[in-house]
Structure formats: structure tokens, C-alpha cells
Amino acid sequence: MAARDVPPPPPSSSNPEAAQSSFAASSSASSSVSHVSDTARWVAMYRAMESERPDALFHDPWARKLAGPEGESILTSIPKARQTAWPMIVRTQVMDELLLRTIRNDGIDTVLNLASGLDTRPYRLDLPSSLRWIEADFGDVLAYKEKILAGERARCAHEFAPVDLTDDAARSAFFTRVNASAKQTFVVAEGLLAYLQSEQVARLAKDLAAQPSFHWWLIDLASPDLLKRLNKTWGKALARSPLIFGPEEGTKFFEPYGWREIEYRPMLEESIRLKRTMPFARVLRFMGKFYPKKMRERYARFSGMVLFAKS
């Protein structure tokens, strides 16, 4: 179905022109991540790399075009970016699996994709035509994607919703509008939370839980240990969009705000299952069996994909 726009949100208290000019500026073949929205090009490059493999886990024929030469430049500028493609690829595949399973088994009528970036799931996944898919992100990001994908048909009813998700008032009003026309909503937040402060994540979680139709929430979650490693490796490249959120308490962080973990997929285990992993992963997994219990538990939650249900 052709895309149709959700009515725009009320004016934001932030500066939407600044956000727009940031993504637009990246079209000048910049090799750095100057704004968090630029990471969408970076992740699209990973989907392109996977799609071009003969044994690809998924196929995204639009990924390289969406990433553009800027995506290639960003990938080149980030230390060890190609060697660390596997977690992004695993994340994409696992989230695809959890999303499709829940749509199939739990009567989902609406998917709300927060900070959707250059994601193409409504185009590439086998989705029921009756499903409503809403992409929420900065207006300039969505306008760019709509232009690149002009003439392509989504597998379901597809809507673009320009909104600044860091603006509490605009976000809350947007969620209320989505809830008003939905019965069973599945929320996706891929690659979003790590760039937010804990207080922002808490408010987001609370706002989502306040909507009666929002029953499921799918995220990726980093541990403090992983954030330290990533910021050490990518700190300079991501200086303007640092990785921040990796709660010490893991998924328990979300419980006071109305969300309980129903499934956790550890990144290392999933990478081994999908055969997209780092060197010596099986050796590391074997050695981990001999670690003290607390250390085993800590590394079991080093990084993963989490499906929440409303408490």
C-alpha cells in the first residue's frame, strides 16, 4: 500500500530546523556522525552488506541506496566498523523474528517504529496487508526515505509520522493519537535507547505504558560494560552522538515504568546460532562456563534484544 502521513504533531519546543539541517548536511558526503540520525546511514550499510551475501539472513534491496555514499564514508571513518558488523546484523534478524512471531500469534494490528531511521521492514517483511505500520522520526529523515523509496510499495498500510521523540509534550500527544485508532500495538525501538539519558528513557517508558493499546515493546539493550568498550573504540567518531544508556540493573530498570521482560535474546548466543559472530566466540562461550556465578550472570546480559510486555 502507498504511504500515508499521520497528521503532524503540535509544534515542538525544540528546534526542528536544526534537526532537519543536520541530516540534510550529511548529504554532503561527510565522513563523520554529526547527528544521531546519521547513524541510520551507518546501519543501512550493514543491512546492505548482509543482503549482498549469498547466504544472507535477510534481503534489503534498498539498503545501499538509502545509505548512499555518505553511509559508506561513515563506515570507513569509524574504527573497526566492518569487523563489528555482526551485532547489527544479528540485531536486525532477531528483531525480525520476534516481531513476525508476535504479529502472527497475538493479533497485532499496529506497529509503531520509534526513531525508524532508514529501516525498511514494512517493505521487506512478509506482513499482513491489514497491519498498520507507523514510522516515527525527524521529518527530514522520513522525507529523505520517502523520496528514495518513491514508487515502492509497502506490504501493509504504511504511515510516516514526523515527530521529535525527545520532546515530551509532542511525544505524548503523538502516542495518544496513535492509541486512539489502535487495539493491539507493538512498539519497536531499535538503536534508540543507547543515545538517551536514563531520565529520558524512563519518561519514554512511562508514556508508552500509559497508552491502553500499547502491549509490547521490543528494544536492544547494552550493559555498562559494553558501553565502556564501545565508547573507548568509537568515542571520537560518536563524539556528537555518544552512547549513554546502559543501565546497571538491566531490564529491571523498566519495571517501575510499567514494562516486564518476557524474552531476552543474548547477543553472543544469537550470533552463534545465526553464524554471524566474532572470532573465537564458541571458545569464549566455553570458557565462560568456568567463570564465577556473578561474572557468568553479568556476561550473559552483556548485550541483547528484549521483548517487553506491559506489566
Where are the domains positioned within the chain?
Answer: 83-310
Which residue has cell 549469498?
54
- The pLDDT assigned to 88 comes to 96
Distance CA 14, CA 72 (A): 30
* CB-count exposure of residue 186 (10 Å: 0-12, 13-18, 19+): buried
| Three cell numbers written together for 61 | 534491496
Distance CA 88, CA 119 (A): 12
Q: How far apart are the first and last CA of the chain?
A: 34
Query: CATH code for 83-310?
Result: 3.40.50.150
Q: What residues contact 138, with CB distance under 8 A and at least 6 apart? A: 16, 19, 20, 23, 37, 162, 164
- The pLDDT assigned to 18 comes to 39
Tell me how many degrees the CA angle 271-255-171 measures, rounded to the nearest 5: 90
- Mapped onto helix, strand or coil, the DSSP state of residue 216 is strand
| Three cell numbers written together for 218 | 521490543
118's enclosing H/E stretch is none
Distance from the Cα of residue 30 to its chain's centroid: 23
List the one residue out of 303, 272, 298 whose CA is nearest residue 286.
272
- The pLDDT assigned to 1 comes to 44
Q: What is the 8-class DSSP label of residue 116?
A: -
- The pLDDT assigned to 12 comes to 35
Segments of 235-294 assigned E as strands? 259-266
- The pLDDT assigned to 32 comes to 63
- The pLDDT assigned to 7 comes to 40
Which residue has cell 534508540?
192
| Three cell numbers written together for 147 | 523520496
Yes or no: say if 120 and 92 are a contact pair by the CB < 8 Å rule: no
The 10 Å Cβ neighbour count of residue 289 is 7
The segments of the chain whose pLDDT lies below 70 read: 1-32
Which residue has cell 554529526?
34
Yes or no: say if 129 and 155 are a contact pair by the CB < 8 Å rule: yes
In angstroms, what CA-CA distances link 193 with 25, 148, 254, 294? 24, 26, 12, 26
